[in-house]
Amino acid sequence: GGATGTPAVVIDMTPVRDRSGPARLLGVVPGRSKKVLKTWLAARDELWK
């Protein structure tokens, strides 16, 4: 079996806000809870952040 449910899509909207380019897809995370997003962010290294 694979992952079930709807994934959370993480998008950087900064370039759109700054009118410097299109939005950027940062990741697709299985699940749609606050915990899932916090875990995904915590897994990024400091250079990424």
pLDDT tens for 1-49 read 455 678 889 999 999 999 999 999 999 988 888 888 899 999 999 888 7
Tell me if 36 is assigned to some domain: yes
Token pair listed for 11: 């998008």
CA–CA distance, 33 with 48 (Å, rounded to integer): 22
Helix, strand or coil, per DSSP, at residue 37: helix
Tell me if 39 is assigned to some domain: yes
Tell me if 48 is assigned to some domain: no
Does the pTM surpass 0.85? The reply is no
Total structural domains within the chain: 1
Domain residue limits at 39: 8-43
- Contact status, residue 23 vs residue 12, Cβ threshold 8 Å: yes
User: Which residues have C-beta within 8 Å of that of residue 16, sequence separation ≥ 6?
Assistant: 22, 23
Tell me if 12 is assigned to some domain: yes
Tell me if 15 is assigned to some domain: yes
Token pair listed for 7: 């994934």
